[in-house]
Structure 1
Amino acid sequence: MTVKQFEMISIKELNFSYPKKPSLCEGLNLQLEEGKVIGLLGMNGAGKSTLMRLMAGLLKPVSGEVNFGIYPTFDRAVPFLNQMIFVPEKVSVPEFLSVKEYVGVYKDFYEGFDLDKLENLLVEFKIVGDQRISNLSFGQQKKLQIAIGLSTGAKLMLFDEPTNGLDIPSKSTFRKVLSGSLQEDQTMVISTHQVKDIENLVDQVIVLDEGMIKLHADLAELENEFVFSQAAKAPEGAIYVESHLLGAQYIARQFESVGDLGGSPDLELLFNAVIAGKLTGEFLSTQNQVTS
């Protein structure tokens, strides 16, 4: 089996709903490339966790396909499971084990597990290997799961709300360890509604709202096409404006903000603009929008 079979996840015409509940996904299409860190953004209840679980093969589509290479994810084939790690928002770990014993379960399953990386990450997160998991706080248990996930060597990493339950120093450590942990052939999807926690970490952003993908774009392309800035007054023709006491934050096309190069995309401002319907795929140049 070659690595080429693990390069992306492909979702085609996906429909999903829970029994006796409104549909969460209708005709959803999405392709994720290898070597990307992707921020999956959405408000609570938008369907982020459901989409992550469909990618992980924990839920079965009502119709349509969710594939990892040649493998339908819900089939849970061993070659797929060996190349995928899912870290849920609410961790559930066997408290009777020590950290070292728990790590051993993953080390034996993932053929690419990097024990040296794991030990370094545990040091960063201030977790001792001979501690019993029952003695770890919820935040420490979550950091343990994050450290294990980053050490598996899996080609597809799915982290659902990884910073929930972490204090401010731990969030800073999370950003630090994540920025230096991924290889070129790995893809990570980070689901969150706390967009500031993943700023400067992601290469692409997906905005999910009411089970629909409202935007899927490369941040580098967004930066080339738009200005994300603030001023005493937003320029004429700005696509989206948020007023505040000191002036306004805004998104405008580059050619409408002469002399203002702005900065890297502000994810919170971008998210708000998309949810408000002010910035969607139709605003992007054809070559700049990621196929979805």
Structure 2
Amino acid sequence: MIYFDQVSFGYSKQKKLFENLTLHLEPGHIYGLLGKNGAGKSSLLRIMAGLLFPLDGNIHVGGKVPGKRQPDFLQDVFFIPEEIYLPSVTIDKYLEMLAPFYPKFDEQQFRQDITELDIPESNKLTNISFGQKKKFLIAFALAANTKVLIMDEPTNGLDIPSKSQFRKLVSSALDKNRLILISTHQVRDLDNLIDAVIILENSRILLRHSLDTVTERLCFGNLSHVELDKRVLYSEPSIRGYKAVFENSEQVESRIDLEQLFNAVMENPARIQKLFND
């Protein structure tokens, strides 16, 4: 569905942000793209959406070249940027103007979602809060039913109940033919939502695996001592000793902690890559 083969990109030819990047993402999954601020997440998403152009390599999204921005590409890919701008029109007028660009747009689904998200229908879009604007655009994107949905920091500006509603709506929107990619540095917002993770650091992909594979290779839990435990990749003090990520040598089932996984990858990238490549 999304294929990057030996892709290089930079805002100048002298300083490349990505070099020889290869990444394959398949439909039927909700991917979480994690990384620190400045790691290159937004640039990567904009390349996928055809808003930035690679210097070298090949990119296909849904069988199309994003940079050409052809109509059959645009009607099946929806991108929500971190910073959003909505026109000074009502919701009904917005639907009238933009819904026809998406052949599979489901207005009934959209109306249900904005009711679920408590978005007022009478006001102009410029008169609602930033959080409500974000929720409106998320509802519109889900109702567009594109094969590819890309979201950059979609939970910024959402309160805690809205984040829960977001996870519920996104998880229910996935099917075997759809790919959803969510980029965020607010790692906990993706708990119980994604089924595969991509971790980006210094414009390199340090980890790209399903959560099932992660829990096969790593264990998340509490340890009383960590100093002499060679299995430990990351730990932090807790009231029960230490919360830790360690090699799952005994094949113990555990519940993944995305924040701890991210910290483990940042702290021990070479060990993580060796563990997952063996």
Shared fold per TM-score greater than 0.5: yes
Secondary structure at the aligned position of 2:207 is classed as strand
Q: 1:94 aligns with which of 76, 79, 87?
A: 87
Give the unaligned 5+ runs of structure 2: none
Q: Which residue of 2 aligns with 1:75?
A: 68
TM-score (norm 2): 0.93
Alpha-carbon separation, structure 2, partners of 1:49 and 1:15: 15
Superposition misfits of 4+ residues, deviation over 4 angstroms: none
Q: Report if the CA contact (8 A) 1:241-1:248 is conserved.
A: no
Q: Which residue of 2 aligns with 1:242?
A: 235
Q: Which residue of 2 aligns with 1:157?
A: 149
Q: Which residue of 2 aligns with 1:130?
A: 122
Confirm whether residue 12 of structure 1 aligns to residue 36 of structure 2: no
Q: Which residue of 2 aligns with 1:253?
A: 247
Pairs within 5 Å for 1:15-26: 15-19=8-12, 22-26=15-19
Structure 1 residue 231: deviation in Å? 2.6
Q: 2:264 aligns with which of 248, 254, 273?
A: 273
Residues 255, 245 of structure 1: CA spacing in aligned structure 2 closer, same or farther, 3 A cutoff? Answer: closer
How big is the alpha-carbon RMSD for the aligned residues of Structure 1 and Structure 2?
1.7
Q: Which residue of 1 aligns with 2:31?
A: 38
Residue by residue, what CA displacement relative to the aligned partner does 1:143-186 show, whole Å, maximum 9, x if unpaired? Answer: 11111111111000000000011111211211121121222210
Q: Report if the CA contact (8 A) 1:38-1:189 is conserved.
A: yes
Q: Which residue of 1 aligns with 2:52?
A: 59
The one-letter code matched in structure 1 to 2:257 is D
Residue by residue, what CA displacement relative to the aligned partner does 1:55-112 show, whole Å, maximum 9, x if unpaired? Answer: 00000111112211431110111111111000001111112x1012112333211111
Q: Report if the CA contact (8 A) 1:238-1:250 is conserved.
A: no
Alpha-carbon separation, structure 1, partners of 2:50 and 2:212: 31
Q: Which residue of 2 aligns with 1:114?
A: 106
Structure 1 residue 20: deviation in Å? 7.7
What is the total number of aligned residue pairs between the two structures? 275
Alpha-carbon separation, structure 2, partners of 1:203 and 1:121: 23
Structure 1 residue 33: deviation in Å? 0.4
Structure 1 residue 262: deviation in Å? 4.8
Q: Report if the CA contact (8 A) 2:78-2:149 is conserved.
A: yes
Alpha-carbon separation, structure 2, partners of 1:59 and 1:172: 32
Residue by residue, what CA displacement relative to the aligned partner does 1:232-276 show, whole Å, maximum 9, x if unpaired? Answer: 22482223132314211222232247xxx3522211111111112
Structure 1 residue 285: deviation in Å? 5.4
